[in-house]
Chains A and B, each alone.
Chain A
Amino acid sequence: MAVQTFLFASLIIFSSSIESNHGATEVSLFTNLENSLEVTATRVGVVLEAGKDMVRITWMLKSSAKVDDDAAFKTVEVKLCYAPISQVDRPWRKTHNELSRDRSCPHKIVSKPYDNIPQSLNWTIDRETPTGTYFVRVYGIGVNGQEVAYGQSSDAEKTTNLFSVEGISGGHTSLDIASICFSVFSFGSLLVFLVKEKRKAKLQQRK
Chain B
Amino acid sequence: MRNFQRYIYATKNYSENLKELKAKRLEKNKTHVLCQEERVFFSRLLGTIMAHHNEDEGSIGTSMHGVTAREQVFSFSVQGEDDGPSSHTVRFDDPTAKFALPVDSEHRATAFKPFSFAKPHMRAFHLGWISFFTCFISTFAAAPLVPIIRDNLDLTKSDIGNAGVASVSGAIFSRLAMGAVCDLLGARYGTAFLLMLSAPTVFSMSFVSDAGGYLSVRFMIGFCLATFVSCQYWTSVMFNGKIIGLVNGCAGGWGDMGGGVTQLLMPMVFHVIKLAGATPFTAWRIAFFIPGFLQVIMGILVLTLGQDLPDGNLSTLQKRGAVSKDKFTKVFWYAVLNYRTYVLFLLYGFSMGIEMTINNVISEYFFDRFQLELHTAGMIAASFGMANFFARPLGGYASDISARFFGMRGRLWTLWILQTSGGIFCVWLGRATSLPIAILSMMLFSVGVQAACGAIFGIVPFVSRRSLGLISGLTGAGGNFGSGLTQLIFFSSSKFHTADGLSLMGIMGMIFTLLVAFIHFPQWGSMFFGPTSDEKKSKEEHYYAAEWTEEEKRQGLHEGSLKFAENSRSERGRKAASDGSSPSTPPENGNPAHV
CB of B134 to closest CB in A, whole Å? 13
Judged by DSSP, the binding face of A is helix
Q: Please indicate the chain B residues that have their CB under 8 angstroms from the CB of A128 in the complex.
A: 279-281
**A193→B313 contact, CB < 8 A:** no
A171 within 8 A of B: yes
B214 within 8 A of A: no
CB-CB nearest in chain A for B204 = A179
**B284→A170 contact, CB < 8 A:** yes
Q: Please indicate the chain A residues that have their CB under 8 angstroms from the CB of B316 in the complex.
A: 197, 200-201, 204
Q: Count of chain B residues with Cβ under 8 Å from any Cβ of A? A: 58
Q: Given A127-B279, A170-B284, A175-B285: A189 and B435 within 8 A (CB)? A: no
A130 to B281, CA, bound (A): 9
Task: Please tell me which one of the listed residues B387, B390, B435 contacts residue A18 in the complex, with CB atoms under 8 A apart.
Answer: B435
B431 within 8 A of A: no
A64 within 8 A of B: no
CB-CB nearest in chain B for A194 = B189
A123 within 8 A of B: no
Task: Please tell me which one of the listed residues B199, B284, B435 contacts residue A15 in the complex, with CB atoms under 8 A apart.
Answer: B435
Task: Please tell me which one of the listed residues B200, B303, B380 contacts residue A183 in the complex, with CB atoms under 8 A apart.
Answer: B200
Q: Please indicate the chain B residues that have their CB under 8 angstroms from the CB of A4 in the complex.
A: 383, 386-387, 389-390
A28 to B392, CA, bound (A): 47
**B203→A193 contact, CB < 8 A:** no
A132 within 8 A of B: yes
**A170→B281 contact, CB < 8 A:** yes
CB of B98 to closest CB in A, whole Å? 20
Task: Please tell me which one of the listed residues A172, A182, A194 contacts residue B296 in the complex, with CB atoms under 8 A apart.
Answer: A182
Q: Please indicate the chain B residues that have their CB under 8 angstroms from the CB of A172 in the complex.
A: 282
**A19→B497 contact, CB < 8 A:** no
Q: Given A18-B435, A187-B200, A200-B316: A11 and B206 within 8 A (CB)? A: no
Q: Please indicate the chain A residues that have their CB under 8 angstroms from the CB of B497 in the complex.
A: 91
**A131→B154 contact, CB < 8 A:** yes
B157 within 8 A of A: yes
CB of A6 to closest CB in B, whole Å? 11
A44 within 8 A of B: no
**A186→B299 contact, CB < 8 A:** yes
Contact with B along A166-207 (1 / 0, CB 8 A): 011111100110111011011101100110011011001000
A123 to B197, CA, bound (A): 47
**B286→A175 contact, CB < 8 A:** yes
A176 to B285, CA, bound (A): 10
Q: Count of chain A residues with Cβ under 8 Å from any Cβ of B? A: 45
CB-CB nearest in chain A for B293 = A182
Contact with A along B414-452 (1 / 0, CB 8 A): 000000000000000000001110011001000000000
Task: Please tell me which one of the listed residues B150, B209, B289 contacts residue A178 in the complex, with CB atoms under 8 A apart.
Answer: B289
A156 within 8 A of B: no
Query: Which chain B residues in 38-70 approach chain A with CB under 8 Å?
Result: none
A12 within 8 A of B: yes
CB-CB nearest in chain B for A172 = B282
A12 to B443, CA, bound (A): 11
Q: Given A190-B192, A197-B315: A170 and B282 within 8 A (CB)? A: yes
CB of A190 to closest CB in B, whole Å? 5
CB-CB nearest in chain B for A106 = B151
**A190→B197 contact, CB < 8 A:** yes
B17 within 8 A of A: no
**A91→B281 contact, CB < 8 A:** no
Q: Please indicate the chain A residues that have their CB under 8 angstroms from the CB of B154 in the complex.
A: 130-132, 167
**A179→B207 contact, CB < 8 A:** yes
Query: Which chain B residues in 193-218 approach chain A with CB under 8 Å?
Result: 193, 196-197, 199-200, 203-204, 206-207, 209
Q: Please indicate the chain A residues that have their CB under 8 angstroms from the CB of B577 in the complex.
A: none
**What are 27 inter-chain pairs, A to B, with CB distance below 8 A?**
A4-B383, A4-B387, A4-B389, A11-B379, A11-B383, A11-B439, A15-B436, A18-B370, A91-B368, A128-B279, A130-B154, A131-B154, A168-B279, A171-B282, A176-B207, A179-B207, A180-B203, A182-B199, A182-B293, A186-B295, A186-B299, A187-B197, A187-B200, A189-B303, A190-B197, A200-B315, A201-B315
- Known A-B contacts: A12-B440, A171-B207, A200-B315. Give 15 more (CB < 8 A): A15-B380, A15-B435, A18-B372, A89-B157, A132-B154, A170-B281, A171-B206, A172-B282, A179-B206, A179-B289, A180-B203, A189-B303, A190-B192, A190-B197, A197-B316
